[in-house]
Structure 1
Amino acid sequence: MAKAALAAIACAVLATPVFAQKRPQPQPQSQSPAIPGNPDDAFVALREAARKNDVARTDAISATLVDYPISSYVEYFRIKPQMFDASGLARIDAPDDQVRAFLQRYKGEAIADRMRNDWLLVLGKKRDWANFDAEYPQFVLKDDTQVECYALLSRALKGQNVAADARAALSDPRYYGEGCVDLIGYLAQSRQIEPSDVAFQARQALEQNYVTLAGRIAAAAPDARGDSNTLATVVKMARSDPSQAAAYLSANAGSLSRDEQGAGWGVVGQYAAKKLAPEAAGYYRRQMDLGGNQWLSDETQEWRVRAALRQGDWKQVRQAVELMRPELRAKDPAWTYWYGRALKADNRGAEAEKQFQSIAGQFNFYGQLASEELGNRIVLPARTQVSDAEVNAMRTRPGFLRAQKFYDLSLRFEGNREWNWELRGMTDRQLLAAADYARRIELLDRAVNTADRTQAEHDFSLRFLMPYRDIMQRATDDVGLDMAWAYGLVRQESRFIMNARSSAGAHGLMQVMPATAKWVARKIGMTDFSPAMMSDPSINIQLGTNYMSMVLTDLDSSWTLASAAYNAGPGRPKNWRSSLPRQVEGAIFAETIPFSETRTYVKNVLSNATYYAALMSGRPQSLKDRLGVVSPSQITTTSLP
């Protein structure tokens, strides 16, 4: 494209009206709640007002917290609502001078990086590239996709070709925001990306049911030819009825290009695989015959492997992994493991062994399985112990002190941010000292998460804590339950946060739902049960372990099925099991669970349990033995909640 044309496009984008509005004049509103007299309560109220971007209330509350111990957050919560409107969109009249002063005052702190993240969104929105380019290199975490999109847009406007970087960044529409839509539009207008790229991005959004976002992406490049209406219909149809979508796609294939047909069969395959339909692998075979792999979303590519696994088609497993986007394949050890298994099934043992060796040192589900494929049992690494002096050195770390204040206020989001920020750049010994410090002050989830970060020196007694051991021993002995499995589940459920509550109302160490707790209490004859009792660790563990035992009995003593049932309810794993084409190993069943949360949950629980068993017994263990095999069965009714 001629330089003059590119310059014209750049000017057009720079001049494009942004959608943020000037701050509106205050409107008459109902009277705000009174400001709490207790400073801690007022601080929590300030945080909530800032979350809603309520400028008037944050100004009023912050004025009462002049001497509050965490002054940086008082100031942040006052300024932040001036940067975003009530719907969360960036304003173009943000108080830049106040932001600059804040960043200078709290330089190097976690909250300064959070403020810089916010300001970059504002600067990108109003196309202030001079300030954006100056601030972006100082953004430490760089964990905001929309900010990354603005950074790429800034580079593109300077004449750089960023198409490859943009394709790598734009992989999950959940995190796009305005910045990524703007980036897609400009790259399409400047011919850095093709119309097919725009169509793919819109289709990715549509696959995840972000219909409005899909429309905005398409509208951002009106001159680019998007997917045909036929393919859009296939995507929408496949969400509810893959077989109907397949029939429609076959009947209308003549109106689609070869690439569009391949994309269509990939989407149909994805949704069929999520419904555990045996036809899914066949749909994917049609997709592979047509090619066009670059137009498949990450989720479609992942489910292509899972569909082949469920059918036991190792050749297709190998091909599906080989066709994966390289960054996606490298991100998860699952694909290295299953690729190794596929090579092994093809009698390519030496190549398979290399795959297993590349991940066998990882302390996770697939690292453990890879180690077993190499003929090893699961053992604990040598323990590194740190001194009291090393632990005590953590007591004065400012980030940890701020974190403790937040935890005292039950503000775990801010507490975790401050704690994790303080961990940056620590050596393994320092991480272990921080983990032991967290254990001593009873921040057990921080102890586990911090110990999990070490690379060469380890202490698995910190990674796999066993608080309330006497209570847990009695409870598991009473019902004949494997204590390693129980601890593996608690570690995944609550990270030993006694007052943990889920959005669904699950409570305590074992995250038992209120209705389930009441049902179990009645079953075991606890006539005086009340929901408030779930705050007592002994009651929480007693009811949780009883429920685990009931679920395990109901599901043929399969730890794999019972772990899935604890997370998703007992009816779902029975349904998933009933559709199996044959007996499968537990690892295949776990990997092909349709719910991403439950899939991750089962793998983590059983991986945890294997390490707990090694800690408790002092003997090598087998994750494969714990996973067992899962056989097809008829769905049976259950009285379990």
Structure 2
Amino acid sequence: MTINRIPKRWLVCCLLVFSGTAVGATLAQQRQDFLWAEKQIALGDEPLFLSLAEVLADYPLYPYLQYQWLKNNLAQSEKIQRFLTDYKDTRYAELLRAKWLAYLADNAQWLAFSQHYQATGDAALECQYHWAQYQLGRQRFALEAAKRLWAVGYAQAKACDPLLSALVLSPELTPSLIWQRFDLALRNNNAGLARYVMRLMAEPALALAELWLQVHNTPSLLQDNEWLNAHSGLGGLFAYGIERLAKTDFTAALTLWDTHKSAMLIDANSYQQVERKLALALARARDSRAYARLEQVVAGDAEVREWKVRAALLELNWPHIAKALAALSVEERQQPQWQYWQARALVATGQAQQGLAAYQQLAVDRSFYGFLAADAIQTSYALNDKPILLAPDDASRLAQQSDFRVVQEWVALNRPLEAKRQWWFAIQKLPKEQLKIAAKLAQQWQWDQIAIMTLVKADYWDDLGLRFPMAYLSQVQNAAQQFNVDPALIYGLMRQESLLDTFAQSPVGARGLMQLMPGTGQQMARALNEPWLSEASLFNPAMNIRYGTRYYQELLGRFGGHVALASAAYNAGPNRIAKWLPTASAVPADVWIETIPYKETRKYVSSVLAYAMVYQQRLQRNALKLSQLLVDVPPR
């Protein structure tokens, strides 16, 4: 007799008798019953599922089962409301609420929707809530909210269409609101939305919008003197066109701006916005005009102030560097990077005693700049390792909390994505002291990446064993020996790239511990005369470390063994780094790193090198010093 012919009532009775889940079931038995119950949901066998679910009421994943069934039975309002009350503290309550609210909206049950809506940041649900208010007679309230949802430079979710359509048909949508969205759409590079908004315009606004759209699509129009003279009163359009042109032809944009800005009627905000963008672009391009241009920016923000220091560094003009550092805010001057450059500037301008004191103060900081300061005064690196000390049962008590029992069940069922989702849900409720315990628990479970990230949320930075794990030691040592790369540098790269997560995958497709793109993996396989297996092979720790180290060795060879350049190339690509090399004479490596145009790469290089210094101590080696690695960067 096949299982399909066995009466369902008999099947359930057998389950109760033989699985033992009704009385004192083991977790292993409950897991089997859970998988069977889950299968019945997929098969649509409601009676069997409901019977199975009854015997799993004390299983940690019981709320998940109920959620999975209820999301397929959204008309069961009473049961859904009971679930939202009984399991309000679980991850599944808000997941179910969102699906139920969408169902209520689709079925125009506006009163129930309004009663059970909770703000979550979901724009579609927010639109539906305000549309519910509109349908319930609170039109003025709903249209006020619609104005806020209207004023964005992108298309809102389709669920917002009824509410925004009501706004469009009402007198509340003024010409200024229409122009505001048109302007936001253009600045968000959404010409399609801008054209849609233009349909709501009347003359003369429509003709003006046509001009703006022309300049948006063809900013080179500004190079036509006849066109410029015909529109000299449109200073805002000229300023916008310069910003657009600068993205494709910076030299032409800068020349046009300097030639015509005084003759155009430009409001002060637009004028300063363009000056700011052009000055920052010069600085990022390492142009010698950058410092003088940044000096002209009125009321500069943090980005302008910091790039002014970098522009002065590019000049190696220490009086300018000192002046730019003095213009930083009090908070900015307390950051390690600017403390380091303050010390450097003091020494360079003949104030050696003050510079030495500044280096000494900074050298106690465990950071790239703290290590540079330590090298400057020839003292040891301050690692300040202070492991978190737990009471004997701290971690086990936390592990027994319901949220963490759910995590463990997902791990046991080999569903790592669900386990991680549940982990982040569980820890969001914890105070900092409990977060430290959670980090140590993740460390015990060998979840290195999760442990590190949890400790960040606890705002605790001194447990170096947790923050800098030594997993895959044999694979690292083998690759280091094979390719003559220091193992601390390999660990530094892995720590920055993936937090030592074997299965890390970036949005662009980089994979594994050293975040290799499949194309790079194939190249390394060919270079080593090895068969390329598959993209999935990059999740193999030994292979990923070998190929990543081989690639880093290749970059070191291309850039003359310069660790900072090779590390930057690992992040931003070797061709881009070649363009960032000095053009005339060598530049100090610390200056070159500080003036890397991309913030991500700048942070990447300093982090990899700092992590390598920590890892060499973890490896009980003292072979590396930043001052030895950071030789001057040679010209192209």
The amino acid that maps onto 1:204 is R
Q: Distance in 2 between matches of 1:386 and 1:305?
A: 47
Structure 2: distance between partners of 1:302 and 1:415: 44
Match of 1:372 in 2: 340
1:529-584 deviations in whole A, cap 9, x for unaligned?
A: 64476454223212211111102221344545434543454344445669999979
CA distance in 2, matches of 1:608, 1:423: 28
CA spacing shift, 1:426–1:435, aligned 2, 3 Å = same
Amino acid at match of 1:466: M
- Of residues 280, 305, 315, the one that matches 2:280 is 305
Contact 2:492 2:615 (C-alpha < 8 Å) held by counterparts = no
Show the counterpart of 1:267.
Answer: 244
| Residue 172 (structure 2) pairs with residue 190 (structure 1) | yes
Q: Distance in 2 between matches of 1:323 and 1:224?
A: 36
1:57-68 matches, cutoff 5 A? 67=53
State how far apart, in whole Å, the 2-side matches of 1:102 and 1:444 are.
35
The structure 2 residue matched to 1:383, chosen from 379, 382, 386, is 386
Q: What's 2:610 paired with?
A: 610
Aligned-partner SS, 1:314: helix
Q: CA deviation at 1:151?
A: 7.3
Q: How far, CA to CA, are the matches of 1:425 and 1:614 in structure 2?
A: 32
User: What runs of 5+ residues in structure 1 fail to find an aligned partner?
Assistant: 1-36, 47-56, 84-93, 239-243, 361-367, 594-598, 634-641
Alignment correspondent of 1:7: none
SS in 2 for 1:373: helix
286-295 or 439-448, which deviates more: 286-295
Q: 2:560, 2:151 → 1: CA distance?
A: 44
Q: How much has 1:516 moved relative to structure 2?
A: 2.8
Match of 1:200 in 2: 183
Alpha-carbon distance change, 575 to 98 in structure 1, aligned in 2, over 3 angstroms: farther
Q: C-alpha displacement at 1:447, in angstroms?
A: 0.8
Q: In 1, Cα distance between the equivalents of 2:275 and 2:155?
A: 16
Measured in 2, the distance between the counterparts of 1:404 and 1:465 equals: 22
Q: How does 1:299-448 map to 2 (within 5 A)?
A: 305-310=280-285, 311=287, 313-314=290-291, 316-317=293-294, 322=299, 337-338=306-307, 345=321, 347=323, 349-352=325-328, 354-357=330-333, 360=335, 368-375=336-343, 376-377=362-363, 378-379=365-366, 380=383, 383-387=386-390, 388-406=392-410, 413-448=417-452
Asked if residue 464 in structure 1 is aligned to residue 468 in structure 2, the reply is: yes
Q: Figure out how many residues of one structure are paired with residues of the other and give that number.
A: 536
TM-score scaled by length of structure 1: 0.65
Cα offsets for 1:60-115 (capped at 9, x unmatched): 799769548634444545555788xxxxxxxxxx8766654442232022232334
Cα pair distance change 1:102/1:198, threshold 3 Å? same
CA 1:111–1:472: 2 relative to 1, 3 Å: same
Do the aligned residues in 2 keep the contact of 1:281 with 1:308 (CA within 8 Å)?
no
| From 82, 97, 114, the counterpart of 2:95 | 114
Query: Distance in 2 between the 1:126 and 1:579 partners?
Result: 67
1:107-148 deviation digits (Å, cap 9, x = unpaired)? 022232334455666778899876666555x54xx4445556
Residues 339 and 352 in structure 1, CA contact (< 8 A), matched pair in contact too: no
* Cα distance in 2, alignment partners of residues 287 and 82 from structure 1: 64
- Corresponding residue SS for 1:452: helix
Q: What does the per-residue CA deviation read over 1:487-512, in whole Å, with 9 as the maximum and x for residues that have no partner? A: 23323433322234456654432233
Are the counterparts in 2 of residues 399 and 418 from structure 1 also a CA contact under 8 Å?
A: yes
- Per the alignment, residue 497 of structure 2 pairs with 493
Residue 235 of structure 1 corresponds to which residue in structure 2? 216
1:380-418 alpha-carbon deviations (Å, 9 max, x no partner): 556251314322232123333333444566655543332
Select 2:455's aligned residue among 426, 451, 458: 451
Amino acid at match of 1:110: R
Maintained 8 Å contact 2:152/2:185: no
State the distance in 2 between where 1:572 and 1:203 align: 30
Please list the CA deviations of residues 330-351 of structure 1 after superposition, one character each: whole Å capped at 9, or x if unmatched. Answer: xxxx667446667964825444
Deviation readout 1:288-347 (Å, 9 max, x if unpaired)? 986568789x999878734443235135446669466xxxx7xxxx66744666796482
Which residue does the alignment assign to 2:523?
519
Query: Would you say the 8 A contact 1:339–1:355 is kept in 2?
Result: no
Query: What residue number does 1:562 align with?
Result: 566
Q: Cα distance, 1:438 vs. partner?
A: 0.8
Is residue 262–residue 291 contact of structure 1 (8 Å, CA) maintained in 2? yes
Select the residue among 514, 518, 534 that pairs with 1:510: 514
Asked whether the equivalents of residues 72 and 106 of structure 1 are also in contact (C-alpha less than 8 Å), the reply is yes
* 1:553 equivalent in structure 2: 557
Distance 1:44 1:564 in 2: 49
How high is the TM-score relative to the length of structure 2?
0.66
Which secondary structure state, in structure 1, belongs to the residue aligned with residue 471 of structure 2? coil
Q: Distance in 1 between matches of 2:254 and 2:630?
A: 24
> What's the CA shift string for 1:142-165, capped at 9, x where partnerless?
444555667789799555997999
Pairing of 1:136-215 with structure 2 (within 5 A):
138-139=118-119, 142-146=120-124, 158=140, 166=148, 173=154, 178-179=159-160, 186=167, 190=172, 194-205=177-188, 207=189, 210-215=190-195
Whole-Å Cα distance in 1 between the matches of residues 459 and 494 of structure 2?
A: 24
Are the equivalent residues in 2 in contact too, given 1:534–1:540 (CA < 8 A)? yes
Q: Is the 8 Å Cα contact of residues 222 and 228 (structure 2) preserved in structure 1?
A: no
AA aligned to 1:197 is: Q
CA distance in 2, matches of 1:321, 1:341: 18
| Alpha-carbon spacing, 1:581–1:283, altered in 2? closer, same or farther (3 Å) | farther
> SS state of the match for residue 352, structure 1?
coil
Q: Of the two structures, which has the highest relative contact order with CA contacts closer than 8 Å and spacing of 6 or more? A: 1
Relative to structure 1, is the Cα distance of residues 534 and 416 closer, same or farther in structure 2, using a 3 angstrom cutoff? Answer: closer
Change in CA separation of 1:468 and 1:515 when aligned onto 2, cut-off 3 Å: same
Which secondary structure does the structure 1 equivalent of 2:323 belong to?
A: coil
SS of aligned partner of 1:228: helix
**CA shift digits 1:29-82 (9 cap, x unpaired):** xxxxxxxx9975996998xxxxxxxxxx78579976954863444454555578
Q: Return closer, same or farther for 1:548/1:126 CA change in 2, 3 Å cut-off.
A: farther
Deviation, structure 1 residue 197: 1.3
- Whole-Å Cα distance in 1 between the matches of residues 394 and 204 of structure 2? 60
Q: Is the 8 A contact 2:442 2:450 kept in 1?
A: yes
SS of equivalent residue, structure 1 residue 415 = helix
Between structure 1 and structure 2, the one with the greater Rg is 2
8 Å Cα contact 2:242-2:257 kept in structure 1: yes
Partner Cα distance (2:40, 2:229) in 1: 57
1:539 corresponds, among 538, 543, 546, to 543
